Amino acid sequence: MGLKAYLDDIVEAVVTTAKGMRITARYGVDPKEETTMQYPEERWEIPEGYRGFLHNDVKKCTACTMCVKVCPIDCISLESVRGADKRMVLASYDINIGRCMYCGLCVEVCPPKSLKHTSGYEMASVARGELILHFIAEDAEEIKARVARQVAEATAKAAEAAKVEAQAAAKAAEVPSSGTKPAEEKKPE
Amino acid sequence: MEALAQSLVNAVPLLGGVPLWAVTLLLIVAAAVIILVFALTFEGVGSYVLRKVAGDIQARIGPNRVGPNGILQFLADGVKLVLKEDIIPANADRLLFKLAPYFAFVGSFAAFVVVPFGVGLIAADLNIGIYYVMAVTSLVVIGVLLAGWASNNKWALLGGMRAAAQIVSYEIPVGMALIPAVLIAGSLSLQDIVRSQGGLFGIFGWNLFHNPFTFFSFFLYFTAAQAETNQTPFDLPEAESELVSGYNVEYSGIRFGLFFLSEFGDMFIVAALSTACFLGGWNVPFFNAGTLPWIWGNLLSLGVFLAKAFTMVLIMMWVRWTLPRLRVDQLMRMAWKYLVPLTFVNLLGVSLWLLVFKGKGIPGMIASLFG
């Protein structure tokens, strides 16, 4: 190594050090360079269409099971029974958000638009079971029993009505000469 | 100290019955406690500032949870270090393992004794001040080497070996870079060196501007001293990416705390020494602090000294968060092929300058031109 190379080395060391120090000084002095966000106190604004935790508005839900069928990883499960008014009644509606991959297919497919993504993204639990969101607080068996009771009551009432009707029809049959039309009797209900 | 004790006994007649040695001992202990409190406070606050500076430079925020703006972080850290379990590895050399942190801490703390904080604020104005600092800070390497050896851990051993090689190598440029200040003052005492930079030139009385060679010698000293105290561009003994954390990897609790404190103590010693030898020490620009009333002169000079020293500490932190770590061979090459020859040439230059110009610096010559 010649003397020139030796001196060049020294100059290079000084120049590059000075260059680096100037950069760090700029960062050190300029407060705008701080990009850290103090998370629990400050947050990002949630963008539009953000896919957070799923939420199902059970009042609007028709228990059509479209979401269950479309879910690629089967994290939605629901149970339903047919109610007295022929509509489906939800007995349970669970989403395992530990499994959910937030693809949004269920939200897109939902006919009554009851299933929605919320903006929530924070959750902590000590057991995996706690990651399953239950949207119906009441016990599924109780609901089923109640609905079954209602259905039974309704059928009983219908049977009663049918019996009354049959009796009325029988009475009408006893006096065929009275001239009443049997088709008219059935209409009012 | 004994003279001070004598004057104290003369001033306060109540102490007449107490033997002189007892008063002297009491004064020594008092001085040690004051310096210890200063050193520990500096080390605590220094660690907070270090982390804040790191945050600023790396576009982060740094500690901000404990107390307003995180200012009490160092207290929390200290309490944590004291309360943590002090673990000694099963196969460690127990005696040496326990001893090592004390060597490291005493090595850095003992150097505070000759730091000239002000006109009269110096624990002991030794006539071999600089020599004493150089000698006693080398005790740190014994502590580091002992820690590395006694831990019975390969990382620790490698770190200790590196520290020994590094500190022995850089001792030479550090000493050679300080000698110009000694030559100009004609004394090894730090107070004499500081006084030699006084006068009415203001900042041009500083050794930094005495002549071109002393100007370079300041930067040479600063670079070599960073390496000698294992500051970051040269922190090979504790290189965390290679050696986990080097010689102190097996230490925990208060023993680790002592290593930590000694590191910050060394930082202040380097800053204080460069201030005293090149940046005019406690000299207040444009008037003589020694002629003021005792208390005001001391307070003013203490303020000036601490302002300069803390600025140097900040610059060291700035360097620390800027430069990447050197490789071992680069470190050795820098010491033996660059710093050692340069400091020798520099020393020769200063000696010739002083010989040719009869000890006058450039500002002095300019001043004599204008009468």
Share of chain A above pLDDT 70, in %: 89
A26 shares contact with chain B (CB less than 8 Å): no
Instruction: Give the total number of structural domains in chain A.
Output: 1
pLDDT tens-place string over residues A84-97: 888 888 888 899 98
- How close A131 comes to chain B (CA, Å)? 31
d(C-alpha B149, C-alpha B137), whole Å:
20
Chain A residue numbers with beta carbons less than 8 Å from the beta carbon of B60 are 34, 36
Q: Is residue A5 part of a domain?
A: no
**Rounded to 5°, angle at Cα A24 from A22 and A30:** 100
CATH, residue A123: 3.30.70.3270
Name, of B114-118, B126-130, B308-312, the range with top average pLDDT: B308-312
Residue keyed to tokens 């079954």: A148
pLDDT surpasses 80 at A100: yes
- C-beta separation of B330 from B236 below 8 A: no
- C-beta separation of B343 from B177 below 8 A: yes
Q: Is residue A162 part of a domain?
A: yes
Q: ipTM value, please give it.
A: 0.70
Structure tokens at A41: 């106190």
Q: According to the model, what pLDDT value does residue A176 have?
A: 60
Q: Give bridge partners of residue A89 from the DSSP assignment.
A: A81
A39 shares contact with chain B (CB less than 8 Å): no
Give the model's confidence band at B249: pLDDT under 50 very low, under 70 low, under 90 confident, else very high: confident
DSSP, collapsed to helix, strand or coil, labels residue A80 as strand
Q: Is residue A14 part of a domain?
A: no
Alpha helices in B151-252 (DSSP H): 154-185, 190-196, 212-228, 240-243
Q: Is residue A6 part of a domain?
A: no
Q: According to the model, what pLDDT value does residue B319 have?
A: 87
**Mean pLDDT, to the nearest integer, of A105-109?**
91
DSSP, collapsed to helix, strand or coil, labels residue A27 as helix
Give the model's confidence band at A189: pLDDT under 50 very low, under 70 low, under 90 confident, else very high: very low
Cα distances from B175 to residues B241, B335, B339, in angstroms, run 31, 13, 11
Residue A143: enclosing H or E segment and its boundaries?
helix A140-174
- Interface test with chain B among A1, A12, A14, A34, by most B beta carbons within 10 Å: A34
Chain A residue numbers with beta carbons less than 8 Å from the beta carbon of B57 are 24, 27-28
Compare all CA atoms of chain B with the CA of A28 and give the residue at the minimum distance.
Answer: B57
Q: According to the model, what pLDDT value does residue B16 have?
A: 66
Q: Which residues contact A7 (CB under 8 A, 6 or more apart)?
A: none
- C-beta separation of B39 from B263 below 8 A: no
Q: According to the model, what pLDDT value does residue B216 have?
A: 87
Chain B residue numbers with beta carbons less than 8 Å from the beta carbon of A7 are none
- C-beta separation of B209 from B361 below 8 A: yes
d(C-alpha B35, C-alpha B332), whole Å:
35
B311 shares contact with chain A (CB less than 8 Å): no
CB contact under 8 A, A27 and B56: yes
Q: According to the model, what pLDDT value does residue A177 have?
A: 57
Chain B residue numbers with beta carbons less than 8 Å from the beta carbon of A28 are 53, 56-57, 318
CB contact under 8 A, B61 and A36: yes
- C-beta separation of B300 from B338 below 8 A: no
B38 shares contact with chain A (CB less than 8 Å): no
Q: Is residue A1 part of a domain?
A: no
Of A20, A36, A38, nearest to B322 by CB-CB distance is: A20
Chain A residue numbers with beta carbons less than 8 Å from the beta carbon of B319 are 21
A36 shares contact with chain B (CB less than 8 Å): yes
- C-beta separation of A65 from A111 below 8 A: no
What amino acid is encoded at A163 in this protein?
K
**What is the torsion angle, in degrees rounded to the nearest 10, for the CA atoms of residue B188, residue B226, residue B345 and residue B215?**
-80
- C-beta separation of A107 from A115 below 8 A: yes
- How close B220 comes to chain A (CA, Å)? 11
Q: Is residue A112 part of a domain?
A: yes
**Mean pLDDT, to the nearest integer, of B306-316?**
89
CB contact under 8 A, A36 and B53: no
B287 shares contact with chain A (CB less than 8 Å): no
Share of chain B above pLDDT 90, in %: 1
Q: Is residue A45 part of a domain?
A: no
**What residues make up the domain containing A80?**
61-172
d(C-alpha B175, C-alpha B185), whole Å:
16
How does DSSP classify residue A177?
G
Mean pLDDT across chain B, nearest whole number?
A: 83
pTM, to two decimals: 0.75
Q: Is residue A119 part of a domain?
A: yes
- How close A25 comes to chain B (CA, Å)? 7
Chain A residue numbers with beta carbons less than 8 Å from the beta carbon of B53 are 28
